[in-house]
């Protein structure tokens, strides 16, 4: 939808080239195909079928998701900082489901910074290894944050601190991560904003 909207804006402004329009429409088509896959996998999750797990490079998954939301980040004037080590162990995971988790976490950060001054709209995405057992991925925003008593409630269905939203993105994300043997948590930052972090075992049976 973001790339389709970008294409519309370019056409309406009469400031576009064939190459730019083609790129936007190709990205929009890719997003539509991914959305269909996400819906199919979420239906499988709800029906309690096991995820389609394969050897997955989390850093590649993160980069793919950030490419999907690049137009949205630019539109919201958010600066995204990546810290991804080159030698990150692979995990066994359903790649499409993990993409949905990353989309939820990144967009949660974008929306949290809606009222943040433009120069302070920074989103940090980091991956790392914990004790040679787990891979952790964190998404840190500089938004309004969350009161301590509401941190755990962020993962309750239909609970939301946003002006608009269904309150389902984080509960679904936690369900996906837990179905992979991992954990998804939220922590308030020392200065401002929130950090959402999930862990996944490097080897099957190793908890996060």
pLDDT tens for residues 1-13?
456 666 667 667 7
| Residue-level pLDDT at 169 | 74
Quick check: 194 and 112 in contact, CB under 8 A? Answer: yes
Q: Does the pLDDT of residue 170 top 80, yes or no?
A: yes
| Residue-level pLDDT at 189 | 87
- CATH fold, domain 54-201, is Heat Shock Protein 90 (3.30.565)
**What is the spatial distance between Cα 167 and Cα 12, in angstroms, rounded to a whole number?**
34
What are the pLDDT digits (tens) for 92-132? 999 999 999 999 999 999 999 999 999 999 999 999 999 88
Name the pLDDT band for 164 (thresholds 50, 70, 90).
very low
């Amino acid at each position: 939808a973001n790339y389709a909207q970008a294409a519309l804006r370019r056409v309406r402004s009469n400031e576009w080239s064939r190459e730019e329009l083609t790129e936007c429409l190709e990205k929009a088509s890719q997003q539509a195909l991914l959305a269909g896959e996400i819906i199919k996998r979420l239906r499988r999750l709800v029906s309690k079928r096991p995820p389609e797990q394969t050897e997955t490079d989390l850093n590649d998954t993160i980069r793919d998701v950030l490419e999907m939301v690049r137009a949205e980040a630019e539109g919201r004037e958010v600066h995204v900082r990546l810290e991804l080590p080159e030698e990150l162990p692979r995990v066994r995971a359903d790649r499409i489901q993990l993409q949905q988790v990353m989309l939820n976490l990144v967009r949660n950060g974008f929306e949290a910074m809606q009222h943040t001054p433009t120069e302070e709209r920074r989103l940090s995405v980091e991956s790392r290894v914990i004790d040679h057992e787990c891979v952790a991925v964190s998404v840190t925003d500089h938004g309004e944050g969350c009161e301590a008593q509401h941190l755990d409630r962020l993962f309750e269905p239909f609970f939301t601190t946003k002006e608009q939203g269904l309150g389902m993105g984080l509960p679904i994300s936690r369900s996906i991560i837990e179905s992979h043997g991992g954990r998804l948590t939220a922590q308030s930052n020392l200065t401002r904003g929130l950090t959402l972090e999930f862990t996944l075992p490097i080897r099957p049976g190793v908890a996060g």
